[in-house]
Chains A and B, each alone.
Chain A
Amino acid sequence: MHKTPQEVLFTNARILDGSGQMPYSGSVRVRGNRIVQINRSIGSVSAGDAVVIDAAGSTLMPGMTEAHTHFSWNDSSSLAGIQTMPLEEHVLWSAKVAHRYLKAGFTSCLGAACAKPRLDVVIRNAIESGQIPGPRYLAASQEITVPGGLGDEMLPHLPFPDFSFGVVVNGSEDLRRVTRNFLKYGVDHIKLNLSGDNFVPGADAKTTWMTDAEVAACAEEVRMRGKRIIVHARSCASVKQALRHGVRLIYHASFTDTEALDMLDAVKHEVFIAPGIGILYALLNESEPWGIDRAKAIAMGYEEEWEAACQSLKAMHRRGIRVLPGGDYGFAFNPHLQNARDLEFFVKYLGFTPMEAIKSCTLHGGAIMMRQNELGLIKESFLADLLLIDGDPLAALSILRDPERILAVMKDGVFAKMPPIDQARTWGRAA
């Protein structure tokens, strides 16, 4: 990691502060890990001891938050391909992905499930201790599922749990034990697979798999320990089930009806939806090289789900329910680091304005990370998670996934990616 001076002054920047207000020109001073001063003026500012970064008119915005991250998904085309990676390689892979996310501008990520029990926890701890570079991270459990559901990758003749991507439980006491075990490992939240998924034969997206008793057992344990539950919930029944049990982080939510929308509306200041729109789009439109052409994708149910999801999410957005980016990146057909594509999809298919899309990964990002009073905005006293972008994301959101346009990334006051130096000299002197 680069050594960053104590104080950094970004001058001549176009400040997109993440709150929804239009960008303005000015300067931002960072001291330690906090934003200490914002000047809404292009007039000169005394630099003092600060290292001055002349932004030359580029955009300074808050670091982005990814609301549905799987560091341990290994860009494989199948769930089995993730699971056959040995533990040691899997840790190093996850570490590498974490670093890449940070350099790509995601200064916060919310783990949405890991492929082996401790991967997320270990990566979070290694980031926090400074051992590896990575975003702020909330660690998830494995996906908890039931026999035959999404995440049960055991074959009938190989019924060994180690083959399974998720943890397969049966019955509320089993779920309670598994939940306690993950809490012992130190996760920030427990992941439950409430619905099926079109990717899994025999367990499509409209199916719902867990009993209320099972979900209740998990919810009780998690509440006692002050943690959260996150759910894979594509079906309408699973969305309602999640809300009934007090779950406030819902992934996918493709299929809804008026009752489900009303239930969401009633808790809209608490609930977060991360639809994972990226993977639906990729499976329907871009997965032919991996054997899923359009006809097959339609047969798997992806066209129906895409249409339903667009309807559901548009309705949620109209009602002011927070919808966040994070799209199950980490498959061959939906590889890591395309994540900012979600923002473009929000605008193109869900009726967001570009500013609303930005807010979904800044203002709402701070909230989903449970740090809304200090994270997600360019605001005095907030944590210095900042991106310097060459261009105007409001005019072209796609620049947020172009490494060359992300000039600098700062997390917690430290540069994860240094702004390029306009280099006059081509040779260096040692000593």
Chain B
Amino acid sequence: MADILFTNVRVFDGGGETPFTGEVLVQGNRIARVTQSSPGARSQLVFGAKVVDGAGAFLMPGMIEAHTHFSWNDQPNLESIQRMPPEEHILWCAQVAEKYLDMGWTSCVGAATAKPRLDVVIRNAINDGTIKGPRYLAASQEITVPGGLGDTTAPHLPQPEFAFGAIVSGSEEMRRCVRMFCKYGVDSLKINLSGESITGMSSEMSQFTEEEIAVCVQEAKSWGKRVAAHARSTWAIKQCVKHGIEVIYHASFADEEALDLLEANKFDHFIAPGLAWLINTCHHASAWGLTPEVVNRMGYPRELEAAIESMRAMRRRGIRILPGGDYGFAWTPHGTNARDLEYFVSQVGMSPMEALLSATAWGGPMMKMGKQLGYIREGCLADILLIDGDPLVDITVLQKKERILAVMKDGEFHRAPPIRDLRTTRWAA
């Protein structure tokens, strides 16, 4: 692996400062040196390092997606995900993993997998080099109750293979389920604490007994695993704080008490609202039968309003809000994830700087890697993007593959910057 010296780049280092013009040296899989240069200064060449002249491009840390479902297959419903056979499903996941890396997501946090081992296998295959993909934390299936979000069995087809989630009832079934996923090697357990309006159980409703939740968290923690919750309802959000569930997805209906609880424990939790799902289900899913009347009946516009309100309040209180929006449905296809950052600016009131930090600086602890990730600083892991344009001026440039000139993960180019090629003749031998 050749060392790389990026010259003539505008460095956004993840610390919240205004970018500066400078150079970044990568040695092995780490950032070895970051220097600020003055206009016209000659770059300090490093013996043996390949020089990439950034021509003024924006250099930033690789982004971290906090709510990823590689196994969602860009279809309009949960049943279509479940009907994909496991062989095709694993190839699909591998393809999606590479797409995320292509789009600048050098780390992803798995938020649930559609079949028991998909996430674990993909994580292992990325780590051993079998496939290309981001750094990844593998999730379990969604653990749910009969009739809850994730129970896609039909009364006349009650076989568990038809279910998208793992269905448990009672604390001993919960314990067995958590143990099974821990045996498979997941990094986190996903528990569905609230409903989801599209499934027929309203997002404001909750499920599971406190005893079941306690068993899930206790068993997961005794295995050293993290718990993440689908928690749209007020009760569910509060349960997360009460039981120490670190990752709270959605958190749409946060009342004052919930906000106070979150604020009081703000370094113990991450919030990933998944706004993309709400926004696109409300406004861009008519082609799939989710017309304004239908989504109104389901209650999504009201939830979207509540969620925006909740996120604005959380932002004001300094609670960490991270991007990752349930991508992988027909109207939220994989690869468009950077829209979340746009929504953070346009809906939640973040500055572009805050939105960028939510995808970088807060991603390190979300990946359980502290400050090694998410910064362009000496000693940090070399996950680096080179952007054509300035995301601080126009956050949407991060949605366009052609504007992401290069993606480096762990010191290696996944996508090398395009080289201006004057020659059309190639010489073999």
Please report the C-alpha to C-alpha distance between residue A308 and residue B118 in the assembled complex, in whole angstroms: 47
Give the CA-CA distance A192 to B365 in the complex, in Å: 55
A56 and B426 CA atoms in complex are apart in Å by 10
Residues of A within 8 A of B56 (CB): 431
* Chain A residues within 8 Å of B, Cβ to Cβ: 51-58, 86-89, 91-93, 95-96, 118-119, 122, 125-126, 131-132, 388, 390, 407-408, 418-422, 425-431
Residues of B within 8 A of A96 (CB): 130-131
User: Quick check: A92 and B57 within 8 Å, CB to CB?
Assistant: no
B124 proximity list for chain A (CB < 8 A): 89
Q: Specify which of B85, B118, B121, B427 is in contact with A421 (CB 8 Å cutoff).
A: B427
- Which chain B residues lie closer than 8 Å to A427 at the CB level? 50-53
| CB-based contact B425/A52 at 8 Å | yes
Is there an interface contact between A428 and B52, defined as CB atoms closer than 8 Å? yes
Q: Is the CB of A430 within 8 A of B54?
A: yes
How many residue-residue contacts, CB under 8 A, span A and B? 119
B417 touches A93 (CB 8 A): no
Task: List residues of chain B with CB within 8 A of the CB of A419.
Answer: 426-428
Contact across chains for A429 and B419 when beta carbons are under 8 A apart = yes
Distance of A171 Cα from B89 Cα, bound (Å) = 35
Per the bound structure, the CA–CA distance linking A270 and B86 in Å amounts to: 38
Smallest CB gap from A423: residue in B: B427
Chain A min CB distance to B273 (Å): 31
Q: Which of B94, B131, B386, B418 has the most CB of A within 10 A?
A: B94
Interface assignment of B88: CB less than 8 Å from any CB of chain A: yes
When distances are taken between beta carbons in the complex, the residues of chain A under 8 Å from B90 are: 87-88, 91-92
Which 6 residue pairs are nearest across A and B when measured between Cβ atoms? A430-B417, A428-B419, A422-B427, A88-B121, A122-B87, A419-B428
Contact of A89 among B52, B88, B121, B420 (CB under 8 A): B121
Contact status A430-B405, CB under 8 Å: yes
Contacts A426-B50, A431-B418 supplied; 11 other A-B pairs, CB < 8 Å: A55-B429, A56-B429, A89-B125, A91-B86, A91-B91, A118-B87, A119-B87, A122-B85, A132-B91, A427-B50, A430-B53
Most buried by B among A55, A88, A388, A426: A88
| Option from B53, B417, B429 in Cβ contact (under 8 Å) with A407 | B429
Contacts of A58 in B (CB 8 A): 428-429
Contact (A429, B426) CB under 8 Å given A88-B118, A96-B130: no
A55 / chain B contacts, CB cutoff of 8 Å: 428-429
Bound: A87/B88 CA distance, A: 11
B252 to chain A, nearest CB (A): 34
CB contact list, B76-104 vs A, under 8 A: 85-88, 90-91, 94-95
Q: How far is the CA of A125 from the CA of B54 in the complex (A)?
A: 40
- B85 and A431 within 8 A (CB): no
Size class of B's contact patch? Answer: 35 or more
Given contacts A92-B130, A430-B54, A430-B405, contact A56 B91 (CB under 8 A): no
Q: Which residues of A contact B154 (CB under 8 A)?
A: none
The smallest beta-carbon distance between B407 and chain A, in angstroms, is 12
Chain B residues with CB below 8 A from A428, complex form:
52-53, 416-420
B418, closest chain A residue (CB):
A430
Is A131 a contact of B55 with CB atoms below 8 Å? no
**Closest chain B CB from A101 CB (angstroms):** 15
Question: Do residues A431 and B55 form an inter-chain contact, with CB atoms below 8 A?
Answer: yes
**Does B424 sit at the interface, judged by CB under 8 A?**
yes
State A426–B51 Cα separation when bound (angstroms): 8
B91 — which chain A residues lie within 8 A by C-beta?
91-92, 95, 122, 126, 131-132
Contact of B406 among A91, A119, A421, A430 (CB under 8 A): A430
In the bound assembly, the distance between CA atoms of A422 and B56 in angstroms comes to: 28
B33 at the A interface (CB under 8 A): no
How many whole Å from B115's CB to the nearest CB in chain A? 8
Complex: chain B residue closest to A5, CB-CB: B424
Nearest CB to that of B95 among chain A residues?
A131
- Of chain A, the residue at the smallest CB distance from B85 is A118
What are 30 residue pairs bridging A and B, where the CB atoms are less than 8 Å apart in the complex? A51-B424, A55-B428, A56-B427, A57-B429, A58-B428, A86-B117, A89-B121, A89-B124, A92-B125, A92-B130, A122-B88, A125-B88, A131-B91, A132-B91, A388-B428, A390-B428, A390-B429, A407-B429, A418-B426, A419-B427, A421-B427, A422-B427, A426-B51, A428-B52, A428-B53, A428-B420, A429-B420, A430-B53, A430-B57, A431-B417
Q: Does B388 contact A (CB under 8 A)?
A: yes
Question: Which of B54, B95, B121, B428 has a CB less than 8 Å from the CB of A408?
Answer: B428
How far, in whole Å, are A91 and B86 apart by their CA atoms in the complex?
Answer: 9
> Chain A residues near B121 (CB, 8 Å)?
86, 88-89, 92
Q: When chains A and B are docked, how far (Å) is the Cα of A429 from the Cα of B418?
A: 7
